[in-house]
Amino acid sequence: MTDYTELLARIADRARDDEPMAPLAAGLPAPLSAQAISSAERQLGFTLHPLLAAIYRDFANGGFGPDEQLFSLTGGPTSEQAVESYLQARARYAGTEWAWPEGVLPILTWGCGMYACVDCRSEQGTVLLFEPNPGDPDAAWWIDSPSLAAWFAHYVDDTGWWVKAETGEDVDEMAPWPDARARAAT
């Protein structure tokens, strides 16, 4: 098991420095209990990536992170919850060419239907970008970051593509996620 202590401390420092969202003006939401995380995992039908579980258990139930803020896992003050978003996407797109891949948990919305998602079945917790706007389901999934740890490091260091895009810089093209179609079939 990987020790995320140092990264969690860096995330905590950065999150506390960020201006809180209006509903969170009193501070970040309390972390979840191990039982609440286990209950969420039962609803999802898979376990969370260990870093994501550590964030929700040891730091906060969402409400921080790049741009639109990390979703609460379940309950909590954010307008969307990760468990609910995943279950709704799986149900809404089931049996269509847009079928949502099993084990891919939305954790943040970029707006306009775009989501940052964690592939909880990958060892590294690959972070994916779901971008449906071009209208082609075969070109809707992109590899945002090879690992959840690297994605959070980009947040802490202000080096993510979202920072570059916000300042008008060209954003390097992301590689397509080759497993999207196969994983949607499960």
Domains, the chain, in order of start with CATH, read: 5-184 (3.40.1580.10)
pLDDT digits (tens, 9 = 90+) for 37-47: 999 999 999 99
Residue 76 pLDDT exceeds 50: yes
Q: Is residue 17 very low, low, confident or very high in pLDDT (cuts 50, 70, 90)?
A: confident
Residue 7 pLDDT exceeds 90: yes
| Pairing label, strands 127-130, 141-145 | antiparallel
pLDDT digits (tens, 9 = 90+) for 112-147: 889 999 999 999 999 999 999 888 888 899 999 999
Q: Distance between CA 168 and CA 181 in Å, rounded? A: 32
**pTM for the full model?**
0.92
Q: Are 167 and 87 in contact (CB under 8 A)?
A: no
Ramachandran region, residue 126 (left: φ > 0; alpha: ψ -120 to 50; beta: rest): beta
Would you state the structure tokens that stand for residue 95, as one six-digit string? 């049996």
